[in-house]
């Protein structure tokens, strides 16, 4: 006789102390965006603490401050997928900014110089 056993899926617990207006930033880098028209804008690249919104969906805050005006919440099926997708999206958007003639530099107090996206994100993220 074949018996079916119900598997317990992952338990969902609502996010604790998740403030969408002021996320907990877990990784960030100060930069200067030099736009194709020469305009310089201080900014930062930051990834927030990923959190579960339901049993099947997680989100991860991402900000490219000085380049974009609205910080997106990147969705994934787990917190791991959400943070990896956020990192990949940041790398792609920065790569696109450079491809359109922009530059990304370190702040002057850190010696200036161009940010190498391959070194910052690793070669697999920047294609």
Instruction: pLDDT tens for the chain, 127 residues: list them.
Output: 444 444 444 554 545 556 666 788 999 999 999 999 999 999 999 999 999 999 999 999 999 999 987 778 999 999 999 999 999 999 999 999 999 999 999 998 766 799 999 888 887 655 5
Cβ(62)–Cβ(85) below 8 Å: no
pLDDT computed for residue 20 by the predictor: 61
Q: How far is CA 7 from CA 4, 10, 12, in A?
A: 9, 10, 15
Q: Which among 37, 104, 52, 108 is positioned nearest to 82, based on CA atoms? A: 52
pLDDT computed for residue 5 by the predictor: 45
What is the CA angle 4-7-8, rounded to 5?
Answer: 150
Domain range summary for the chain, segments of one domain joined by +? 25-109
pLDDT computed for residue 127 by the predictor: 54
Cα–Cα dist 127/125, whole Å: 6
Cβ(58)–Cβ(101) below 8 Å: no
Beta-strand pair 40-48/58-65: antiparallel
Cα–Cα dist 66/30, whole Å: 10
pLDDT computed for residue 108 by the predictor: 82
């Amino acid at each position: 006789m074949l018996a079916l056993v119900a598997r317990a899926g992952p338990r969902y617990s609502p996010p604790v102390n998740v403030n969408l207006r002021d996320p907990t930033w877990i990784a960030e880098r100060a930069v200067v965006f030099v736009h194709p028209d020469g305009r310089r804008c201080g900014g930062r690249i930051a990834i927030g603490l990923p959190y579960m919104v339901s049993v099947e969906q997680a989100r991860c805050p991402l900000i490219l401050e000085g380049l974009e005006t609205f910080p997106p919440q990147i969705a994934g099926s787990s917190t791991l997928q959400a943070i990896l997708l956020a990192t990949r999206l940041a790398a792609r958007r920065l790569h696109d900014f450079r491809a359109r003639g922009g530059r990304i530099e370190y702040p002057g107090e850190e010696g200036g110089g161009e940010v190498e996206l391959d070194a910052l994100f690793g070669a697999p993220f920047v294609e």
